[in-house]
Structure 1
Amino acid sequence: MNIGKRSLANQREFSIFDLMIILRIILLPFSLIYGLVMMIRNGLFDKNIKKVTKVNSTVISVGNLSVGGTGKTPHVEFLLSALAKKYNTAVLSRGYGRKTKGFVKVNANADVTNVGDEALNYAQKFEGEIEVAVCEKRVEGARKLLENYPETEVIVLDDAYQHRYLHRDCNILLTEFNKPYFKDFVLPAGRLREFKCGRHRADMVIVTKSPSLLKDIEKQRFKEKLKLKPKVPVFFSSIQYGDLISLATNEICTAPDEILLVTGIGNPQPLISHLEQHSKVSHLKFGDHHDYTIKDIEKIHKLFGNFVSAENIIVTTEKDAVRLKSSAMKTKIESFPWYYQAMTVKIDNENKLLNKIDSYVKSN
């Protein structure tokens, strides 16, 4: 009986895998068309047919070839934290998911629907240390930042690898260790925003979500697969998880026996794996940058009501917490034990990376 069940499960897995391959083959022509359009666009920039604007500040871009899930936000935070100690620093984001248009200066008390969750997170985390703004047109955004804050020495562009109208002095490309660009396809068959040759615009590459104990020989093999230009430095980063922090009181909690995890991010699997080391995890997944509604919160609380122990908690990400603590949602979650998982990144050869960034700033 058990053998029959196992055989049926294997057949189902094989069928799903088969279906994914067939779907990718069907979508491949559309990927080629999309990739060619992007290649032509990039060629126009390379030949200076499309205008690139340089502003009176060092511009550092952090982005990726794929759509979401590379852990971009904590890496931007890492850079902002380091740069703000030495330079007048600003961060410019598109403000993904916001309901406003144009240039908006972001402060810690801004409405998340007007500025987006990532920009608001930066403003709250670095309040008084850096300037934060959103603008879908990066040239306009950079110019207005410098008009309002002419002392700005460094502008960090959040998720701008494909936004080429604004000149950048340093292009940082992120790729995930378990889902690297060299194993992926262009949209819609895969997750890449352009052909893999776009990697050649990178001044440095950070391999994110790497195992914390990665041998030098494994790093070298991975670097070879990236097929970068000579002398482009490659760094490996890993996630460092911190405390579980209350959304209502900022109190710290130790992991209980059971957790209801609520996420609206690109790739929640590393967080799930981390939490499962200490707790049984039930996961409710929403799309990346999900705009939570009252109905969503009621659904989450109803699901949590089925948990037996009063010591169990609801856990979410720091980015989701920014949205959940806004306006009408805040009063709904205060009576439930909501916590967010704090996290940072650890980068191998961190000093070498920071010295490299410092050299770009000083040369400008």
Structure 2
Amino acid sequence: MKFLRYILFPIVPIYFVVTWTRNILYDFGWKKSKSYKLPIICVGNLSVGGTGKSPMIEYLIRLLKTDFTLATLSRGYKRESSGFKLANNSDSAKSIGDEPFQFYNKFGQDILVSVDANRQHGIESLKDLNVKPEIILLDDAFQHRKVKAGFNILLTTYNNLYCFDMVLPTGNLREPRSGAKRANIIVVTKCPVSITEQEKERIVSKLKPTNKQLVFFSTISYSNKVFSIDKELEVSLLRHFTLVTGIANANPLVDYLKTKGLEFKHFNFKDHHVFTEKEVDDLSDFECIVTTEKDFMRLKSERKLQNKLYYLPIEISIDRAEVFNNLVLDYVKN
């Protein structure tokens, strides 16, 4: 795969010019972005996947859901439905996508969870509901310039900062690095717990934020327990289990489990992998399976796995959380 990316390097300048030109057209108003009166917060990235958008959306949900009527709007990647859809009790990962289904499973009683590939249409559909949202969280919409979000949170991972990357197909960036200037906040995600202030300063100097941008750093915190549909188990009690992942970057999870001295086999699939019947049959031969919460959304309906399938929840911690929270709340209120 890496070799193929290097072969495709001649396409990089073409991709760069096309995406740069598109941004210029929007920046100067030659292509129109639609603004809205209600607060719209966009969480996104410059690179393709794996920056921790879902944990950030969940962080914002926890911050805002008590005081506001809140909605999430996602594309619903690889879902079997189309158009606008508001999640309900009959939905699954197949009908709305794994990440929106994860939001609905956790917060469905407190928020509105919706999907629509056309973000403008999705926002208008939410505004037409009887119970209208006071805030909309746009999931993975940084490149959707047809909507002008009032507040943009840009994520980049500690081990793959966008400032050291290049655009597709050789690199991982969806657009040139200059697109980062649209962000109100930049969050460096998946940082080691031991990151020092000197290291943070070094990273900020490399990212070169504008005078109006603040940079924050977040770390992943794993639960001490894994959960099935109706059971829970201490991570320390896991013995000779099988790890199954279908996410962009499973390395932090693998490293965490290894630090616990656990022994396991690892089956690593591509991000948003749709498991075939044969793959489910093969997995059913194992006595205990641990997966991510996102993968659990796709696998939990498989009867062959229900008595052996567990997921490990994660949350994020943000440095200077009070400052971060106040920036979001100030935008929402003002």
Q: Please indicate the TM-score interval, normalised by the length of the shorter structure.
A: over 0.9
Distance 1:181 1:114 in 2: 33
2:291 match: 316
Cα deviation per residue 1:215-242 (whole Å; 9 max; x = unaligned)? Answer: 1111011001001211311110000000
Matched, 1:283 2:258: no
Q: Which has the larger radius of gyration?
A: 1
Q: Contact conserved, 2:184 with 2:212, CA < 8 A, in 1?
A: no
Separation in 1, partners of 2:316, 2:220: 5
Instruction: Return the TM-score normalized by structure 2.
Output: 0.95
Distance change (3 Å), C-alpha of 1:159 and 1:298: same
| Preserved CA contact (<8 Å) 1:108 1:124 | no
Tell me, yes or no, if structure 1 residue 266 matches structure 2 residue 248: yes
Check conservation: 1:237, 1:346, Cα contact below 8 A.
yes
Identity of aligned residues (%): 40
State how 1:1-364 maps to structure 2 within 5 Å. 20=2, 23-149=4-130, 151-255=132-236, 256-278=238-260, 279-302=262-285, 304=286, 313-326=288-301, 329=302, 331-335=303-307, 337-363=308-334
Amino acid at match of 2:104: A
SS at match of 1:262: strand
In 2: Cα distance, 1:247 partner to 1:294 partner? 21
**Root-mean-square deviation (CA), in Å?**
1.6
TM-score w.r.t. the length of structure 1 is 0.88
Which residue in the other structure is 1:308 paired with? none
Give how far 1:212 is off.
1.1
Q: How many angstroms does 1:24 deviate by?
A: 4.8
SS at match of 2:314: strand
Shift of 1:197: 0.8
The DSSP-based 3-state class of the residue aligned with 1:160 is coil
Aligned to 1:13: none
CA distance in 2, matches of 1:108, 1:31: 44
Q: Which residue of 2 aligns with 1:14?
A: none
Amino acid of the residue matched to residue 356 of structure 1? L
8 Å contact 1:107–1:124 — kept in the other structure?
no
**Offset at residue 295 of structure 1 (A):** 1.1
In 1, distance between residues paired with 2:226 and 2:37? 40
Question: What CA deviation, in whole Å up to 9, does each residue of 1:164-214 have, x standing for no partner?
Answer: 111211010000001111121211101110111111111110100001122
Gaps of at least 5 residues in structure 1 are 1-18, 306-312
128-137 vs 246-255, which moves further: 246-255
Cα pair 1:265 1:287 within 8 Å, conserved: yes
One-letter identity of the residue aligned with 2:253 = L
Segments of structure 2 that go 5 or more residues without pairing to the other structure are none
Q: CA offsets, 1:308-328, max 9 Å, x none? A: xxxxx31100000011123xx
Task: Report deviation, 1:25.
Answer: 4.4
1:116 positional shift: 0.3
Q: Describe the SS at the equivalent of 1:101.
A: coil
Q: In structure 2, the residue corresponding to 1:91 is in which secondary structure?
A: strand
Answer 1 or 2: which has greater helix percent: 1
Check whether the contact 1:108–1:120 (CA below 8 A) recurs between aligned residues.
no
Query: Cα offset for 1:108?
Result: 4.3
Q: Do the aligned residues in 2 keep the contact of 1:138 with 1:166 (CA within 8 Å)?
A: yes
CA spacing shift, 1:108–1:227, aligned 2, 3 Å: farther
1:283–1:249 Cα change, 3 Å: same
Aligned twin of 1:8 = none
Instruction: Please report how far the alpha carbon of residue 258 of structure 1 lies from its aligned counterpart in structure 2 after TM superposition.
Output: 2.2
Structure 1 residue 149: Cα displacement:
4.5
